[in-house]
């Protein structure tokens, strides 16, 4: 089933503008996100292959089937609560069956986790992005050779420096394990012994071992920092995956304000934290943001990264206190939501 099917068969019961335009945080470059609710035809609902959600390829238009919408509502999902409380000027279409929802029977202290954890996940993303921007990984991939060291004089030096001093080629070296010394190996050198080298080739992911003839003299002890190489490989893969998949417009905005964080990501972190505090204190969802100026300042890069991290920690503590003192119930009234599911669907199929 596709979005065109929902429209042609007139299955949509709610369609709204969502995201930054609903929050009042849009800029001239903002896309228009659409979210809504549809009801499956009776034959399909009672048959096989239930369709819970329909979206376009870019996922900026999403419609939830009624049962899925109400199930997410019962766990206080932030996206669903926002959709239910969309400002009137952002509602594109609302079916006559879409009656009044008693929000006070739906909102609960679960929002501390759903809104709060979502906000904290955004902070985690922001920290990860900060690390990637501040510590870029060179495109030329390192090899295990770059994580090998040998004893030299009274200390140690990288094996590449050792080889340069000796004017040796790594391909003319051989390694053997030393019992009871983890990742410490005996290093040998010969231009005629046909050793395997410290690594076999540039794309090697491990050091190589060689068969060393008896009587050959060991020239040094070599230590392979295996854990360091493993960590580097993970960082390299994550960094260049991020480069390949990143949103270039958002990255250019991040680079332009020079604060080393994704400003849009950080803006939504504070939006979620503030919304969670409002839910606890006011028992309602404020989709259209009264803190618009503050949030847009964050988006414009008006704050330092460390300053926002400190403020986010303070907001988190404020949120914890607000929910501890809130009159909200611990859980939503699931019986009420189940009753809504029956009456809305029964009304729709009876039309």
**Per the structure, how many domains does the chain have?**
3
What percent of the chain has pLDDT above 90? 69
State the pLDDT at residue 265: 82
Whether residues 95 and 111 fall in one domain: no
State the pLDDT at residue 73: 96
Q: Tell me which H or E stretch contains 35.
A: strand 33-38
Rounded CA-CA distance 73/51 in Å is 17
Point out which residues pair with 35 in neighbouring strands.
Answer: 16, 62
Higher per-residue pLDDT: 151 or 121: 151
User: What value, to the nearest 5°, has the Cα angle with vertex 340 and ends 336 and 346?
Assistant: 145
Residue 126 confidence (pLDDT) above 80: no
Burial of 222 (0-12, 13-18, 19+ CB in 10 A): buried
Residue 250 confidence (pLDDT) above 60: no
Q: pLDDT per residue over 33-44, tens digit each?
A: 999 999 999 988
Q: Give the range of the structural domain holding residue 344, as residue numbers without chain letter.
A: 1-106+332-351
Whether residues 127 and 153 fall in one domain: no
Q: pLDDT per residue over 204-244, tens digit each?
A: 999 999 999 988 999 999 999 999 999 999 989 888 887 77
Whether residues 263 and 114 fall in one domain: yes
Q: pLDDT per residue over 327-341, tens digit each?
A: 999 999 999 999 999
Whether residues 122 and 257 fall in one domain: yes
CB-hemisphere CA count at 13 Å for 278?
Answer: 14
238 lies in a domain?
no
Whether residues 201 and 350 fall in one domain: no
Residue 259 confidence (pLDDT) above 80: no
Q: Which long-range contacts (CB under 8 A, 24 or more apart) does 235-240 make?
A: 235/137, 236/137, 236/141, 236/142, 238/132, 239/132, 239/136, 239/137, 240/137, 240/139
State the pLDDT at residue 132: 59
CATH code for position 1: 3.30.460
Higher per-residue pLDDT: 281 or 30: 281
- Please give the C-alpha separations between residue 159 and each of 59, 165, 211, 216, 230, in angstroms, as whole numbers: 50, 10, 20, 20, 18
Both tokens assigned to 103 = 């929000």
State the pLDDT at residue 148: 97
Residue 245: CB atoms within 10 A of its CB come to 7
33 lies in a domain?
yes
148 lies in a domain?
yes
Q: Which of 232, 258, 285 is the last residue of a domain?
A: 232
Nearest CA among 266, 274, 220 for reference residue 111: 274
Strands 91-94 and 12-18: what pairing?
antiparallel
Q: pLDDT per residue over 155-212, tens digit each?
A: 999 999 999 999 999 999 999 999 999 999 999 999 999 999 999 998 899 999 999 9
- pLDDT tier at 351, thresholds 50, 70, 90: confident
For 257-288, letters b (16+ CB in 10 Å) and e give: eebbbbbbbbbbbbbbbbbbbbbbbeeebbbe
Both tokens assigned to 295 = 């949030």
Rounded CA-CA distance 9/25 in Å is 34
242 lies in a domain?
no
- pLDDT tier at 139, thresholds 50, 70, 90: confident
Whether residues 149 and 280 fall in one domain: no
Burial of 115 (0-12, 13-18, 19+ CB in 10 A): buried
Q: pLDDT per residue over 64-121, tens digit each?
A: 999 999 999 999 999 999 999 999 999 999 999 998 899 889 999 999 999 988 887 7
Residue with tokens 């228009």, as numbered in its chain: 32
What percent of the chain has pLDDT above 70? 92
- pLDDT tier at 251, thresholds 50, 70, 90: low
Summarize the confidence of residues 127-134 as an average pLDDT: 58
Q: Which of 202, 232, 262 is the last residue of a domain?
A: 232
156 lies in a domain?
yes
In 246-304, alpha helices (H):
248-257, 263-282, 292-299
Whether residues 30 and 90 fall in one domain: yes
Whether residues 130 and 252 fall in one domain: yes
């Amino acid at each position: 089933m596709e979005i065109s099917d929902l429209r042609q068969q007139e299955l949509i019961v709610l369609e709204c503008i969502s995201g930054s335009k609903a929050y009042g945080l849009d800029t001239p470059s903002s896309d228009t996100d659409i979210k809504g609710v549809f009801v499956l035809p009776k034959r399909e609902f009672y048959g096989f292959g239930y369709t819970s959600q329909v979206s376009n390829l870019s996922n900026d238009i999403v419609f939830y089937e009624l049962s899925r919408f109400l199930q997410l509502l019962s766990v206080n999902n932030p996206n669903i609560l926002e959709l239910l409380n969309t400002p009137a000027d952002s509602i594109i279409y609302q079916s006559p069956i879409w009656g009044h929802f008693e929000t006070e029977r739906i909102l609960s202290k679960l929002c501390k986790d759903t809104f709060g954890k979502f906000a904290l996940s955004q902070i985690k993303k922001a920290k990860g992005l900060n690390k990637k921007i501040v510590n870029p990984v060179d495109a030329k991939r390192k090899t295990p050779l770059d994580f090998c060291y040998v004893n030299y004089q009274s200390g140690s030096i990288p094996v590449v420096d050792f080889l340069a001093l000796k004017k040796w080629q790594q391909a003319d070296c051989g390694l053997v394990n030393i019992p009871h010394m983890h990742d410490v190996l005996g290093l040998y050198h010969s231009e005629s012994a046909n050793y395997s080298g410290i690594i076999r080739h540039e794309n090697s992911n491990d050091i190589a071992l060689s068969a060393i003839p008896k009587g050959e003299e060991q020239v040094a002890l070599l230590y392979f920092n295996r854990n360091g190489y493993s960590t580097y490989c993970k960082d390299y893969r994550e960094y260049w995956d991020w480069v390949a998949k990143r949103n270039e417009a958002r990255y250019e905005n991040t680079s332009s304000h020079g604060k080393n964080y994704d400003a849009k990501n950080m803006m939504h972190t504070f939006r979620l934290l503030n919304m969670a505090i409002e839910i606890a204190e006011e028992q309602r969802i404020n989709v259209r943001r009264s803190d618009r100026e503050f949030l847009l300042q964050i988006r414009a890069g008006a704050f330092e990264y460390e300053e926002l991290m400190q403020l986010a920690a303070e907001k988190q503590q404020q949120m914890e206190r607000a929910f501890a003192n809130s009159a909200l119930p611990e859980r939503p009234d699931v019986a009420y939501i189940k009753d809504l599911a029956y009456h809305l669907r029964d009304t729709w199929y009876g039309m």
